[in-house]
Structure formats: structure tokens, C-alpha cells
Amino acid sequence: MNYILNKSLVKTNVKVNDWIQAVRIAGDLLIKNDLAEARFVDAMINIVKEKGPYIVISKNLAIPHARPEDGAKKIGISVVTLEKPVKFGHKQNDPVKVIIALTSIDEKSHIELISHLARVLSNKQNFEKLKTANNENEIVKILGKEV
């Protein structure tokens, strides 16, 4: 799967006040790297406000995203690890320590990217390394793997 991920799309040990700020930081990385328009970030936040915290897919992990027509430009991900986990309002999986924002240009690339992340993150060792990573290169190495 070809997608964009480099160390300019990663921030580690970030301090945030709430989930909205965490998603906004992950979204801003997508904007700065020309993967999405600014309205894409607002759409990611609004989807959670409207549909609830379904993006919190497991303990410590949220994968915010929006529809391609909401301002996606390219296929890629940004990753933010938090100094202290935040609550999204998910009964089973709160709090969240890792935010992986994704952008895709169509349904096919969206499904392929989600499938790739699921394969990499289903390995508990990979996810533990991701949660404790202290630098951008470690995270790129983990998520850049083909499985």
C-alpha cells in the first residue's frame, strides 16, 4: 500500500487539554504536509461530535478521518502520541494515547489504508512500541512496515 508517512507527519509526547485539541494537532500535520485542506480537520471533529467516539477503535487508539470530499488531497497518515491520555467519551476504550489521522482520496484507498493499519497494529508488540516511542523515526519505522 502506498501512502505518505514521514517524520514531519509525527509528533510525540504532546500535551493536550482534550480530544478536540489532539485531533486538531493530528489534522494540522496533514494540512502542513499538503495531504488535506483545513476543512478536513473540522470535518474529522464534527463527525465525532455527530456520530460519537466510534473512531476510538481499541484501548489507547483513535483513528480520526473524514470523507475524501471533505478536503482530502492525498493518501496518508499523521500520528500524534500524547504525554497524558485523553477521553473521547468511549465507554470501553478510553482514554486514548495514540491518534492516527488518516486521509484517503477514495473508498478503495480508505479501505486499503485501514486494512494496513489493522495488520500492523494487531501485533501487540508493534502497538506497545508505538505507545512508548519517543521519536518520529521509531513511529515511521513501525507504521511503514508492510505486513
Model pTM score: 0.95
Q: Which entry of 65, 90, 110, 116 is annotated as an active-site residue? A: 65
**CA nearest neighbour of 38 among 48, 47, 30:** 30
- At the fourth CATH level, the homologous superfamily of domain 7-143 is Mannitol-specific EII; Chain A (3.40.930.10)
Res 134: pLDDT: 87
Res 147: pLDDT: 41
Question: Which of the residue ranges 70-74, 92-96, 141-145 would you say has the lowest mean pLDDT?
Answer: 141-145
Whole-number Cα distances in Å, 99 to 20, 61, 77, 108: 11, 6, 10, 22
Res 145: pLDDT: 58
Domain boundaries, the chain: 7-143
Give percent of the chain above pLDDT 70. Answer: 97
Res 1: pLDDT: 66
**What average pLDDT does this structure show over 121-147?**
86
**What average pLDDT does this structure show over 94-105?**
96
Q: 144 pLDDT band (50/70/90 cuts)? A: confident
Catalytic residue check, 116: no
**What average pLDDT does this structure show over 17-46?**
98
Would you say residue 146 has pLDDT above 90?
no
**What average pLDDT does this structure show over 98-119?**
93
**What average pLDDT does this structure show over 123-128?**
92
